[in-house]
Structure 1
Amino acid sequence: MVPTPAAKLRSAPLRSTPGPRRLLDLRTLLYAKRVTAVRWSADGRSLWFEWNATGRFNLWRVRADGGWPVQFVVSDEWTHLQDPSPDGRWVVYTQDVGGNEKPNVYLVSTAGGPPVDVTRTEGVGYHSVHWLPDSSRLVFAAEREEPGAYCAYLLDPATGQVVRVAGNERGQCAWVRTSPDGRWLAINRTHDYAHCGVSVVDLKDGGERVLAEPDDRSTVEAVAWTPDGRLFVTSNRNPQDLEAAALLDLDGRVTWLWKSEWETRVAAGSPADGRYLLVEDEAGEHRLWLCTLAGDRRALDVPGGVLTAAQFSPDGHRIALVYESADRPPDLWVVRAEAGEAVQLSDSLVGGLGPEDFVRPQRVVYPSFDGTPIAAFAYVPRGARPDGSLPAVVYVHGGPASIHANAWFPHLQHWVSCGFLVLCPNYRGSTGFGRAFQEANRKDLGGGDLRDVVAAVDYLRSTGYVDPQRVAVAGGSYGGYLTLMALAKFPEVWAAGVAIVPFANWFTEYEHEDPVLQAYDRMMMGDPVEDAELWRDRSPIFFADGIRAPLLILAGANDIRCPVEETHQVAEAVRRAGGVAEVHVYPDEGHRFGKRENQLDAFERAARFLRAHLGEPTGGVS
C-alpha cells in the first residue's frame, strides 16, 4: 500500500441529485467560454486576459472596475498572454501555428494597431516571456540553438538583438523572471520536466549562483519574487514529503511558510508589501488564503473549485483570479485584498444555463489492488437510482503528473446528462497526494496506475448504480495511453474505449521526443535498451490483438508530444487483429484541441460512440 493523504478522506455513499435528467446540448456547453490567463496593466486600471469568446483563445482587455471586455488581438491561432510592459506601452504574447508548440513572440501596442513578430523564426519555441523592469528588453526561455535545449535570452525588441544570458548545462531553463530591481534573473532548471532546481544570474556580470540544485528525487520551483528580493518557491524537500510553499533567500536558505496535511503553493505575491495568495489543495479542491510574511492569514470566501491563475495589482490592494469548478467555467474575478469582496469581470456561461443545471462531482475514495486508497470524483446522473443498470465511463486524466480536480469539463457534463455515470480516478502518480504517491509509478508506468484504473470498475459495481457489462474507459494524452493499456491488458472489463491524443509504443514515442522528455522517460521507465522488456510489456501496440472492445481515437496532426503516427500504429494493429478502431485526425490541432469547432466535432464523435456501444440508460434514471 502506498502512503497518501487520501487515506484521511471519508467516502460517503454515492447519491444522485433529485429531479428529472435533462440532456445538455454539447454545442451550448462548448459555447461556454474559458479564461486561461490574466495580467494587470501597469497602472492597475485594467486587466489583460486570454478568452475564447469567439471560439479562438485571443487577447482581451477589461477595466478593473468592470465593463465590457474588448478583444485586442484577433487571430485564428491560440494567443498566449505573457506580460504587459511596465511603462504601459506594450503587451507581449506568444503564438504558434496549428498547435505545434513552437510559438514566436509578438508585441502589440496598448494604443492599438497590428501585432509585430519580434522573433521572426520558425520551429524554435519561446516561453516564459517577460519584460525587464525598465521596459527596455524582454527575457525568455527558448530553444534557439538546438531542439530541446532551452536557454535564457535577452531580446531588444527595437533592434532584434538577442543575447544569451544562461545556457542549459545545469539543466533546461523552464521559467525565467527578473527581480524587482532588475539585477537578478531567477531560473527554474530541469533535466526531466518533473524536478526543478533554482538558480539566479547576475545580469550585471553574467555570474550564476545555484540556490537549489536540481535532482531526480525532489523539486524546488520558484513562482514569484518578493519586493525585498527573495523568491517564493514550492518544494517537497521537507520531512512531510509534500509540496509546500516556502521562501528562498539568495544565499539558498529556505523558510517554510505553511504546514498542512495537504500540498500548498504560492499562487501570487504582492509587488507592494509581500503579501501572498496561498492555495491549499485538498485532493482536487482548493482553499485560498491571503497571507503575510509575518504569518497572518485569512481565508478567502470562494465557492468550491480550483484556482487557474492569479496576480496582485501593482499596488497590492486587489487580486485578479481565474476560478472554475464543475458547475462554473473559468472566469475572471477581482477580489479586494482587505475587504474580500469579489467582482466578476467575465461571464462565460451562455444564456439558458446556470450552475444549477450541472452535476457537481462527489469526491470518493476506493481501495486499489494493493489496498492503496484512490481518490476520485464521481459524476452521477440527475435522478439516477441504484438498480444496477447505468452505463458508466472511467475517465483517466493525463500527465501522469497531474490531477483530476473539481474543474470545468463540459464534455463530462454532456456525458452525465446523457445518462452515463462518470468516475475520474486520481491514480498513483497523480499530483497533490505527496511525493511517495506521485513517485509510486516509477519504473511502473502502465502497471500499478493501470490497476488503479481497473479497480475503479470494482468500485462502480459496489455502488449499486452501474451495470458492469456497460463500462467504457476514456482519457487524453497519458490518459489515452492508459485507455489503450486497459483495453489491451484487461479486455474483459470494458465495453468501449475512447483515446484522445494517445501514444501506444514507448520505443517510437521516445525516438521522436525532445531530449528533456527522453530524460523523463528514462527516469520513469528505465533505459530503452537495458529495460527493453519492460518497455515492450508497457506498450499497448504489442498487445493490440487483445483489444476486443470498439475503440475511437482522436488525434491532432501537429502533436509533438504524442505524434499522430502513434494513433495510426495502434489503429492499424487493432484492425489487423479483427477489431474495431475508428480514427479522426484534426489537421489544424496539436496536443490540445483549441478551436471550438474541433472540440465540438471531437466530443460529439465521442458521445455518439459511447451511446452506440454502451447503449442508452434503461431504468436507472428518471
Structure 2
Amino acid sequence: MTNDWQRFFTAERPLAVRRGRGPGDRSLIVVESDDGPRLSLWDAERGTVAPLSQLTSGDLAQAVLSSDGEQILSLHDDNGSEVGHVYATRLDGGAGRDLTPDLPPYTLRGIDVAGRADRAVITCAAEDGFALWLLDTAGPAAPEMLFRSPHEAWNGLISTDGALACLDTTDHNPGVRRFAVTVVDTATGEVLDRLTDGPEAPVRGVRFSPVPGDGRVLVATERTGFARPCVWHPKRGTRVDIEAPHIRGDLVPLDWSEDATRILAVHVDGGIHRVMEADLESGALRPLDHPPGAYFEPDVADALCHQWASHYGPGRTVRLLRQRFDSPLRVLHGDGQDAAPVPRLFPEPDLDGVRCESNQVRSADGTHVQLWWARPRRAQGPVPLVLHLHGGPNLVTVDRYDPAAQAWLDEGVAYASLNYRGSVTFGRRFREGFMPAIGDRELEDIEAAVGWLVAEGVADPDKVFVTGASYGGFLSLLSVGRLPGLFAGALAHVPMADWLAGYEDMNPALRAAWASFFGARPEDGLERFVRASPITYVADVVAPVWINQGTHDTRTAPKQVRRYEEALRAAGGNVVVDWYSGGHETSGRAKALGEQSRMLGLVRAALRRQPWS
C-alpha cells in the first residue's frame, strides 16, 4: 500500500489571513507547519511577506497584531491547557511581556485591538466569573477591569479610538446562551447601553466602526430566527437593520469597509456560501461574483469569532478568503470601487483532490440536516465510509480544505461530514435544537445520514466508521453505545465520555456553557448528565473504540477518559487510548499525519476483522 495520501498533509497549508486594526495595510498570515502554527507578516503596501520565525510560543493560531503593527498579542498557557496569560511579543525579538501579571490564570474568550490607540481588550473566564479587561499595549499601565459578571460574557471588542468597548453578555437572561451586546465607557467603566432583542433572539457583536470617533457597532441579530447584520449607535440609541426578506437562511456579517459605508456579509443557505455587500447609504444588497467554496469559518470557544474570514482591504477593496474540501485557503481577488489586485500569497499545489457534494437529509422528525459527502475516484458500488462529526456543538463544517477527508478518499474510503442539530449558520432553531436533551436529536440526525448514504449506494452498511473531535468525539462514543451495530468502529479525538466527571474538571468558561446547554448543573439535573454520557452505555458497545487524548486538556479533561476506558474494558469492550502531551487543540502537520496514519491502520484492521487492542 502506497502512502500517496500523505501529500495532502505535507503541502503548505495556510490557516488564516488576519488584517491588523492599525494604520497601514498589515496582516498576519497563519500557516500550519510541521510542529504547529507559524506566523508571517504581510505588508501589502510594501508588497512583502516576512516569516516571523522568532515567534514560537503562545497560541499563534489566535494571535493578533497590536495597533502599531510591531507586537503580537497571544495567550501563553501550560502545554495547550488554554489557561494562562496574554503576552505582548515584539516582532523585532526579545522576550514576551505579560500584560496581566497580577491576574490569576484565565481562559481567553475574546481579544480585540483599538486601531488608533495603544489599547486592547480581553475577555477572561476564571473561577470568579467572566470579566472584560482594558490593556495598555505600549506601556506599563496596569490592566483595568471594565466589566464583571458571574454569567456568561464573551467576545469583548474595542472601538477604533479606544473610547468604547463592548461584549456579549447574558445578564439580561442568566443561564441561557442568547447574548445581548453591552457597551461600556473605557474611561469610567460605566455601562452606556445594552442592545437586546428580547429573551428569544440573541445579539452578538462583530466589530466597531473602523472610523475614529464613530461609535457605531456592527452586530448580528436574529429577530427573524436567522442571522442578519445590524448597525447600532449606542450613544444615540439608533439602529439600522439589514432585513433582507427576499433571502432565506443566515446572512452573517463579517466586516466594515474602511469608510464605514458598506458591510461585508455571507449568505449561508443549506451550507452553501454566497458573499454579499450591503450599502448602508442606499440600502442595496448585492452579491459578489466568486466561485463555489467557503468564505469564512465560525468559531465558538476561542478568542476570535471566526477561525478565518473574508474582509475588507484598503478603501472598498474586498479580500475574499476562499477554500474548498480539495483546495487550501487562498486570498482570491479584490472586488469593489477601489479594487486593487491582490498578490498570490500561497502556492497552488496540484493535489488532485476530490470535491465534496452537499445534500439535505431528512431526519426522524422531518428536520433537514446538511451533509457533505464524496466517493473515492473509480469507486464502483458501496465502499467503506468514514462519517465525520464536527466539534462544538455550536460550530459547523464548511466547504474548507480537509487533508483527512482527502486521505480517506485517496485510500478508497468514502467520506461524509454531517452538520447535525446544534450546528451554526442554519438559524437559531437549528442551532439550539440539541438542547436540553444532549445527544438525542444528534443521534437521530446521525442515523438518518448513515441511512441516506447506504440508500444512495455510497456506503457499505457493514463498513461505516464514525469520527470527530471534542463534541464530535463525544457523539462518536455515544453513537456506538446507543446505536450499537450502526458503526464498525469509533475514532474519537479528545471526546467527552463522562459528563459528570468531565464537568468537575473542565475550565470555568466551559462549565458555564454546559450548564446552559443542559439547562441545569449536575446537582440539579443529574439524570440529564447520566443519559448524555457515553460511559452509561459501555455494556452495549460492540464496535472497537480508539480515543486520542491530551494530557493537559481543560475542555474534555483526562480523568473522564480514563474512567470510560476502564468501564468499557471491564464490560468486555475493545478499546485503545493513545495519549499525547498537550491540550484540547492539536496542531502541526507532523502530528496530524501521524494521527491519520494511525486511523487508517485501525480501519484496515477492522475491515480484516482484527481487534484494535
The structure 2 residue matched to 1:551, chosen from 516, 541, 545, is 545
Deviations 1:274-328 (A, max 9, x none): 3221111123222112332122344333322222224433x43434443321121
Note if 1:303 corresponds to 2:283: no
> What amino acid maps onto 2:579 in structure 1?
V
Q: 1:43-122 maps to which residues of 2 (within 5 A)? A: 43-53=23-33, 55-64=35-44, 66-75=47-56, 77-80=58-61, 82-111=63-92, 113-120=94-101
The structure 2 residue matched to 1:244, chosen from 228, 243, 249, is 228
Tell me: CA distance 1:205–1:360, structure 2 relative to 1, closer, same or farther (3 Å). same
Contact 2:14 2:328 in 1 (8 A): yes
Deviations 1:562-613 (A, max 9, x none): 11222222122111111111111111x2111113322222221112111221
The structure 1 residue matched to 2:251, chosen from 264, 267, 286, is 264
Contact 2:117 2:162 in 1 (8 A): no
User: % of aligned pairs identical?
Assistant: 25
Matches of 2:321 and 2:53, distance apart in 1: 19
> What amino acid maps onto 1:245 in structure 2?
P
> What amino acid maps onto 1:235 in structure 2?
T
Q: Aligned-pair distance for 1:332?
A: 4.0
Per the alignment, in what secondary structure is the counterpart of residue 167 of structure 1? strand
The structure 2 residue matched to 1:165, chosen from 135, 140, 146, is 146
Tell me: CA distance 1:523–1:116, structure 2 relative to 1, closer, same or farther (3 Å). closer
> What amino acid maps onto 2:405 in structure 1?
L
Contact 2:386 2:465 in 1 (8 A): yes
* Residue number in structure 2 paired with 1:17: none
The structure 1 residue matched to 2:187, chosen from 173, 185, 204, is 204
Tell me: CA distance 1:334–1:297, structure 2 relative to 1, closer, same or farther (3 Å). same
* Residue number in structure 2 paired with 1:418: 411
Matches of 1:41 and 1:431, distance apart in 2: 27
When the two structures are superposed, what TM-score results if normalisation uses the length of structure 2?
0.88
Aligned residues: 584
> What amino acid maps onto 2:144 in structure 1?
V
Matches of 1:347 and 1:496, distance apart in 2: 37
* Residue number in structure 1 paired with 2:530: 536
* Residue number in structure 2 paired with 1:362: 357
Listed as ranges, the gaps of 5+ residues in structure 1 are 1-20, 617-622
> What amino acid maps onto 2:498 in structure 1?
N
* Residue number in structure 2 paired with 1:518: 511
Q: Aligned-pair distance for 1:515?
A: 4.2
> What amino acid maps onto 1:208 in structure 2?
V
The structure 1 residue matched to 2:12, chosen from 21, 32, 40, is 32
Q: Aligned-pair distance for 1:497?
A: 1.0
Deviations 1:21-71 (A, max 9, x none): 997422542443122241237443432222224542132112316444422
Matches of 2:15 and 2:341, distance apart in 1: 17
* Residue number in structure 1 paired with 2:218: 232
Matches of 1:330 and 1:105, distance apart in 2: 28
> What amino acid maps onto 1:62 in structure 2?
W
When the two structures are superposed, what TM-score results if normalisation uses the length of structure 1?
0.86
Tell me: CA distance 1:100–1:423, structure 2 relative to 1, closer, same or farther (3 Å). same
Q: Aligned-pair distance for 1:83?
A: 3.9
The structure 1 residue matched to 2:486, chosen from 475, 489, 493, is 493
Tell me: CA distance 1:41–1:149, structure 2 relative to 1, closer, same or farther (3 Å). closer
Matches of 1:39 and 1:152, distance apart in 2: 23
* Residue number in structure 1 paired with 2:302: none
Contact 1:391 1:615 in 2 (8 A): no
Matches of 1:77 and 1:607, distance apart in 2: 31
* Residue number in structure 2 paired with 1:176: 156
Contact 1:156 1:162 in 2 (8 A): no
Matches of 1:56 and 1:612, distance apart in 2: 30
Matches of 1:403 and 1:105, distance apart in 2: 28
Q: Aligned-pair distance for 1:265?
A: 1.5
* Residue number in structure 2 paired with 1:590: 583
* Residue number in structure 2 paired with 1:392: 385
Matches of 1:341 and 1:564, distance apart in 2: 50
Per the alignment, in what secondary structure is the counterpart of residue 450 of structure 2? helix
The structure 2 residue matched to 1:189, chosen from 158, 166, 169, is 169
* Residue number in structure 2 paired with 1:8: none
Deviations 1:201-227 (A, max 9, x none): 122333102322497643100101223
Contact 2:153 2:169 in 1 (8 A): yes
* Residue number in structure 2 paired with 1:562: 556
Note if 1:377 corresponds to 2:372: yes
Deviations 1:80-101 (A, max 9, x none): 4544343444443333332111
> What amino acid maps onto 1:303 in structure 2?
P
* Residue number in structure 2 paired with 1:436: 429
Deviations 1:87-130 (A, max 9, x none): 44444333333211124323333555554333346733445334
Per the alignment, in what secondary structure is the counterpart of residue 454 of structure 1? helix
Q: Aligned-pair distance for 1:469?
A: 1.0
Matches of 2:108 and 2:524, distance apart in 1: 35
* Residue number in structure 1 paired with 2:327: 328
Matches of 1:281 and 1:432, distance apart in 2: 6
Note if 1:138 corresponds to 2:131: no
Contact 1:32 1:349 in 2 (8 A): no
Q: 1:329-348 maps to which residues of 2 (within 5 A)? A: 329-333=328-332, 335-338=334-337, 343-347=342-346
Tell me: CA distance 1:597–1:156, structure 2 relative to 1, closer, same or farther (3 Å). closer
Matches of 1:76 and 1:111, distance apart in 2: 15
Larger deviation: 523-532 or 423-432?
523-532
Matches of 2:595 and 2:200, distance apart in 1: 38
Matches of 1:77 and 1:597, distance apart in 2: 19
Contact 1:35 1:322 in 2 (8 A): no
Per the alignment, in what secondary structure is the counterpart of residue 404 of structure 2? helix
Tell me: CA distance 1:531–1:141, structure 2 relative to 1, closer, same or farther (3 Å). closer
The structure 1 residue matched to 2:592, chosen from 592, 599, 610, is 599
Matches of 2:198 and 2:552, distance apart in 1: 32
Contact 1:107 1:118 in 2 (8 A): yes
Matches of 1:338 and 1:55, distance apart in 2: 41
> What amino acid maps onto 1:562 in structure 2?
T
Note if 1:316 corresponds to 2:315: yes
Contact 1:193 1:516 in 2 (8 A): no
Matches of 2:599 and 2:175, distance apart in 1: 33
> What amino acid maps onto 2:270 in structure 1?
A
Q: 1:274-293 maps to which residues of 2 (within 5 A)? A: 274-293=261-280
> What amino acid maps onto 2:408 in structure 1?
W
Tell me: CA distance 1:89–1:397, structure 2 relative to 1, closer, same or farther (3 Å). closer
Q: Aligned-pair distance for 1:471?
A: 1.0
Per the alignment, in what secondary structure is the counterpart of residue 514 of structure 2? helix
> What amino acid maps onto 2:272 in structure 1?
E
Matches of 1:497 and 1:460, distance apart in 2: 18
Matches of 2:502 and 2:175, distance apart in 1: 16
> What amino acid maps onto 1:100 in structure 2?
S
Matches of 2:176 and 2:73, distance apart in 1: 25
Q: Aligned-pair distance for 1:482?
A: 0.9
Matches of 1:404 and 1:51, distance apart in 2: 20
> What amino acid maps onto 2:26 in structure 1?
S
Contact 2:123 2:130 in 1 (8 A): no
> What amino acid maps onto 2:384 in structure 1?
P
Contact 1:428 1:438 in 2 (8 A): yes
The structure 1 residue matched to 2:441, chosen from 429, 439, 448, is 448
> What amino acid maps onto 1:358 in structure 2?
G
